[in-house]
Each structure stands twice: as structure tokens, then as C-alpha cells.
Structure 1
Amino acid sequence: MEIGARVAEARSERGVTQAQLAATVGLDRTALAKIESGSRRVAAVELVAIARELGRRVEWFVAETPPALASYRRGTSGVAVQAIDTELDALVRDAEFVTSHCPELVTGQPEIFPHPTTPEEAEKLATTARSLLGLSPEQPAHDLSRLVAGIGLLVFSEDLGEGADAGTVLLKRGGVALINGHWRVGRRRLATAHELGHYLVADEFSLDWRVAAAEASGIEARLDRFARAVLLPSADLRARWQEWSTNPDESLRDAAVRAASHYETDMATLSRRLFEIGLVDRSRADDIRRVQTKQADIVEKNLIVRNELAPIALPRTFEQAVLKLYRREVITSDRALGLLRGTFTEPSLPTLPPAPEAEIWEVTS
């Protein structure tokens, strides 16, 4: 019955009728209806065909849904499961499979911190988070996805279109975050910092539709503040902004371009951070928000351009663990390519040594 219910759910998400799906997989419509109702068993070959047609992996139909996602779906009955939810489901399963064979993938997980209830507590949590990530007070959080992997949060990026910004699921050890790579790099990094906040306060599941939204309130607003403080530490920003904004040879726009490049943030995040720590007034913050960095700025100011979490992006430690499993022949090449989500081709996988002759004869004799 559970498999049948998942077939019905996946078919509905795909927007096809029973008749259409039945025709494409070579079943009678009545047979498919019985499968979905749980009154008929589904053969393995049939399930593979259904999974292929509906764009799901077979284990999605037969394995238990991660508890946090199952709880979320029960709370949103009648609402279509979004793309980010579906992808998170698959990533959680993959991460749990890989970590079961390579527990060293998650080497450390911080203690659980209380939810910040004030902006001041959000700032304090950000200072603690930067320390956990090994950042000095004046150090920009470059390569944030690598840093958070060091404390057990595996961040993936996929282009999910104009949907949610990010989602996070807490695992038994560590966690998985999925960032919507459809957005620009500054927004992707802000979303990553925001999901780090959810991870540190041990929210079992979070699905964030728009980080730093003007209407955000409660815990989301405080985690937005946390995220900005992680990316733009106040003491360092104050010192650098004083230097950049008082340079007689440059304008406010030039200072904003330098700051956004140095900290790898978008202008909306920078302007809001400058305003909330009192470095600019509302009018100047609005001016900064409208600034666009041009190619001429990059050349003339000799800026370094990074494109962190451009989709598809996987944690390096996760990639290394998958390749380790492939070298050990724990997984096949097809399974490795699936786990690596199309970022590898079969020729780019490691070359495995040929089996010893004695082993070959043992298999073939």
C-alpha cells in the first residue's frame, strides 16, 4: 500500500493520468489503479519502468521516507511536494548511504545552540559559528560550503528554478542542505549561511522560500541577521568601510563594490548589514542596494571573481567518499555516477585495477 501511495503521489506530481502512465509502461489502466490502491503487488520490472517514467529512483518508492520530511509532508497535506523537497529527499538518502560506509564523511558535529530570540543573540551565535568554522574576526567566509562541511553540514547546489532558496534536513550525525543554484552567488551564499543557522540550532527540517525577505519575522528574521553577521562580521566591516568610504578618490558606489567583492555578498545583503550596524542611513542603504558591479569594476579594481555553489555543486568531502566507495568496489560505476549527480562521466571515474587471475578463474570456473 505504501508503494502504491508513492506511485500515485509521483504520478500526480508529474501531472499525468493513470491511463497515460499505464500506456507508457505497458500496463492496463485497471492494473495501475490496483497498484496505487494497494490491492495488487507491483513487480520489480514494473516498478523500474514506473520509476523511470516518473523521474524517480526506485528506492524512493520502497525505502522509508526520512522522518523530518515525512513529518513536514503530513503537515502540508494537499499541498504539492516542491522540487526542493523531492531533491532533499534523494540527497538525504544518498548522504545516509555514503556515511554508513564512510563515517569519516561527518567528522564533527557541534553542540546544539538555543534559538536566538533577539538580534543581539543572533550576532553572538554568528560569532560562535565563525569560531567553529575556524575563521578569525577579520577573515571573510570564503568557500563557505567547504567550511561548513568541516562541522558536518553537507551543502549541495542544484538549479531548481524560481522556487525555494534552500532547505535543510538534520541527520543522525550531521545534516544536508540544498541550495537553489538558480539564484546569483551572493544569494546562494546568504542561503548557505542561513541554513547553517538552522543546523546549529538543530531544526530537524527547514524549507526557506526567500532568505532576507523584507517581511521576515521571528526566528527566520533572526537567522537572516545571523547569516549576515557570519558573512559580514561587524568589527571588520566597520574598519574596512571606514577606509573604503572615506577614500577621497572613490565614491560611495566604489566602496560598495569593494565591500561586496571582498565579502562575496550581493548588494541587498551588504546594504542591509551596513544599515543595521549603523554605518549608513536608510537613504544611503537604498543607494547601495541599487548598485550593480560591472566588468569594468572587476578589471579596474582588480577584484577576484568567485562563483561558489554554481550548480551542480557537491561537497568535496562527499565526492571523495563516493570515489572511495567506488575504488573499494562497494558501489558500481552506475551507482557512483548517480551519487555524483552527473558531475562525472564514466571515463572520469578512477581506473580500477584488473582482478587477479586467480579471482577470475574462481568466478568463471
Structure 2
Amino acid sequence: MVEDSDWTTVGEQIRQARLGAGMSQAELATRIGLDRTMIAKVEAGGRRVDALELIRLATALDVPIDYLLHRRPAVISHRAEPLAEDNDTEAARRSQRLDITLSAWLGDVRQMIDAGTLRPNAPMRYTGRAGSEADARAAARWLREAHGAGEEPIPTLMEFSERSGQYVLVGDLPGDGASLIDGDIAVAVVSANGDPGRRRATAAHELGHLVLGDEYSSDLAVHLSRADREAMINAFAAELLLPLAAFTGRTPEGNLREEIIRLAARYRTSWSLALRQAEQAGWLDATTRRSLSQVTPPQAEFMDAVGWSPQPDLSAVRVPPGYSHAVMEAWRRDLVTSSRAVELLHGQITRDDLPPRDEADLPL
């Protein structure tokens, strides 16, 4: 199951998962029926773990078994610092749990690829210069044109990201989101917390890490600070969701606030992003933007601006459409059990939504 040289990796992954879960070695030992000294030896790579112990460890730590067996990919947009006993803070644990979820999501996508039911799109990378916010906006316009979106609202960012080669999972997660690239596979996770506009902004931000590259995967703007690089990614996300062309060539008719609400509702962005784009387009100055940002319009105003039509993106839909089809195809071909199909779809369906069948000899 594990080469001799890899037991140190397994031990470190167990330690990181334990600290991420906020457990002591003694607490983990009690949960799986081992002595604390045995946990210490396992984490140091000095003791092997049999299959049953590995299952118990994964269950107690609430992580996939694969997470304990392999190091996480190096190219990750939100990189948690390795946890240690002296930096075991609540913020560090939340960050670690986010990375665990991201790695598990990568495993789900890879399972469908290995099953032959998912044929992923190649990750799209901007080939132009990317050294400023203006360059980032140009990259967003390039991606829009590549998908034929032009200047119109993107109906579903989940499907748009999938076509761009990034598979997005929306879940009950700490923080906002994160993404990683492992070889030719790109995945991202977005927290279901917050309003839909914020979720779309997070998904667009993570797509920006893929399209532009970042400090972990390329030499993107190496002369810039991390804050400046993040500002570039934010500029990409803003232009992707609400292009400046939506403002230019026209002047606000009537109440400025109401005009920006209409654009924010039509393009389904957060209020803060719409205000930043309005300022960038010259519709308002910094002082007015700050004034308008003090009070976010109530949801009723946004819904009224679009005729009360449903706004489901990144809300009811938790996984990409192509991936969902791949899971169902794997289920129909008896490559996964019904229980595993439900797990792979992350809350899109329940076990009762699938027809009953005999699964005694099926793989998990």
C-alpha cells in the first residue's frame, strides 16, 4: 500500500490533519484505540499503519484516506502554512481544513477521469503579458471572447469555469475559497457562506489564479508584492464578471445608485464589485463610491431590478455540470455505488433520488 520511503509523508499528513482538527495526540489515540506514544511514532514516520488503522484515522480526522497517503500538490492559490504545536491557531486550523477539502475535491475529479467518464478541458492560460491590473483586465476580456461571452453577463460561472479547465466545488467551508493545479487538472473550492455575489467573485478570483498564474506556479509579476498580485487577480475577476464595456458609451439615466443596482443585478455581482467597476469606468469618484458602499442595497432591490427572476448560480448548484454527468455515467456503468455517487455529487442529490439496485459486488 505504501512504500517504505513514504511512511514519513503519511505521518506528516496525519499530523497536519490532526492539528487541523484541533486534536491532541492523546485525543486522537483515544478515538482510534491506540496509545498516545503510538500516534507520536506514526507521525514521526517510525511506525507503519495497517489498512484498518488507516481507515480509523481517516474517519476520526474527517479526511479522505488519499489525503493521508499523499502530499498535497505544490501549486495552490491559498497555501496554508504547515501546522505545528506552536502555531496551532483557529485561523491556521481553518486554513488547513480548506486545503484538505481542496485536496479531497481533486481526488473526486481524478476518480471520474480515471473511470473514463470525465474528459477534462485543458486549463486555459493567458499567453499575453500579465504585469499590471490593466493586463489582468485584458486577460479577462480575452477569456470572455474565447468563450463567446462578449460583453454580456455570464449565466453560470460554474459552467464557465469548467469550460476554462477549472472544476469548482461550492461547499460549507471556512474562508472564501482556494484553488490548485495538479499536472493537467485544475480545481477550486468556494465557500457557500456569504451572498451569491460574493461567491461569484470568489470563483472568478480563483479562475484568475489559473488563467494568469500566480507566485506558486509561474513567474507572474515577480517584482510585485503578494498584495499587488492579489490586486491583479481582483481586477481580472471584476472585469470578468462586470466588464467596463457595460458602463462605457452610455451615461447613467436618472438615479446613479439605481443604475448601478441594475448592473449589479443583471451581471449578478456583489455591490462592492459593482461600485469599484463604476469608479473605474468614471461613473463616480472615490468619495461617492465610499459613500455608496456604506449601505448595501437590500436583496429586494436587486431582485426587482431583474424582474424577480431566479438567480441560482453557485447556490443550489454545488458541482459543475460536466462533472455531474460524469458521476451519473459512472453510476450507470456500475463503476461506483449509489452511496459513493451521492458523496461525489456533494449534496446535489440524496440516496433516495437514485433507483434501487443490487450493489453487493460494486466498488466504492
1:185-204 to 2 correspondences below 5 Å: 185-203=196-214
Residue 257 of structure 2 aligns to a residue whose secondary structure is: helix
What is the distance in 2 between the residues matched to 1:76 and 1:188? 27
What is the distance in 2 between the residues matched to 1:299 and 1:323? 34
Listed one character per residue, the Cα deviations across residues 169-199 of structure 1 (whole Å, up to 9, x for unaligned) are 1233341111122122111111222222211
| 1:156 corresponding residue in structure 2 | 169
Cα distance change, pair 112–32 in 1 and its aligned pair in 2 (3 A): same
Q: 1:227 Cα shift?
A: 1.3
Q: 1:130 Cα shift?
A: 0.6
1:24-39 to 2 correspondences below 5 Å: 24-39=31-46
Q: 1:123 Cα shift?
A: 2.3
Cα distance change, pair 31–235 in 1 and its aligned pair in 2 (3 A): closer
| 2:221 corresponding residue in structure 1 | none
Q: 1:146 Cα shift?
A: 1.0
1:48 aligns with 2:55: yes
Cα distance change, pair 104–5 in 1 and its aligned pair in 2 (3 A): closer
Name stretches of at least 5 consecutive residues in structure 1 with no aligned partner: 207-214, 361-365
| 2:15 corresponding residue in structure 1 | 8
Q: Among residues 309, 314, 333, which one is paired with 2:319 in the alignment? A: 314
Cα distance change, pair 170–293 in 1 and its aligned pair in 2 (3 A): same
| 1:167 corresponding residue in structure 2 | 178
What is the distance in 2 between the residues matched to 1:84 and 1:125? 28
Q: 1:65 Cα shift?
A: 3.1
Instruction: State the one-letter code of the partner of 2:37.
Output: T
1:125 aligns with 2:136: no
Contact 2:117 2:330 in 1 (8 A): no
Q: How many corresponding residue pairs?
A: 337
Contact 1:323 1:349 in 2 (8 A): no
Contact 1:170 1:202 in 2 (8 A): no
| 1:209 corresponding residue in structure 2 | none
Listed one character per residue, the Cα deviations across residues 221-276 of structure 1 (whole Å, up to 9, x for unaligned) are 12211211111222222246x2xx323xxx22222221211111111111111111
Name stretches of at least 5 consecutive residues in structure 2 with no aligned partner: 1-6, 218-224
Cα distance change, pair 204–88 in 1 and its aligned pair in 2 (3 A): farther
Q: Among residues 257, 267, 271, which one is paired with 1:253 in the alignment? A: 257
What is the distance in 1 between the residues matched to 2:78 and 2:276? 34
Q: 1:131 Cα shift?
A: 0.9
Provide the aligned C-alpha RMSD in A: 2.9
Contact 1:181 1:311 in 2 (8 A): no
Instruction: State the one-letter code of the partner of 2:96.
Output: Q
Cα distance change, pair 113–50 in 1 and its aligned pair in 2 (3 A): same
Contact 2:247 2:281 in 1 (8 A): no
Residue 226 of structure 1 aligns to a residue whose secondary structure is: helix
Instruction: State the one-letter code of the partner of 1:54.
Output: L
Listed one character per residue, the Cα deviations across residues 253-312 of structure 1 (whole Å, up to 9, x for unaligned) are 222221211111111111111111212122322233234333553565424341421277
What is the distance in 1 between the residues matched to 2:170 and 2:346? 11
Contact 1:115 1:219 in 2 (8 A): no
Contact 2:77 2:180 in 1 (8 A): no
Residue 238 of structure 1 aligns to a residue whose secondary structure is: coil
Instruction: State the one-letter code of the partner of 1:91.
Output: W
Cα distance change, pair 31–120 in 1 and its aligned pair in 2 (3 A): closer
Residue 105 of structure 1 aligns to a residue whose secondary structure is: coil
Whichever of the two has the greater Rg, that structure is 1
Contact 1:168 1:205 in 2 (8 A): no
1:338 aligns with 2:348: no
So what's the TM-score if we normalise by structure 1? 0.82
What is the distance in 2 between the residues matched to 1:217 and 1:62? 34
Q: 1:108 Cα shift?
A: 4.1
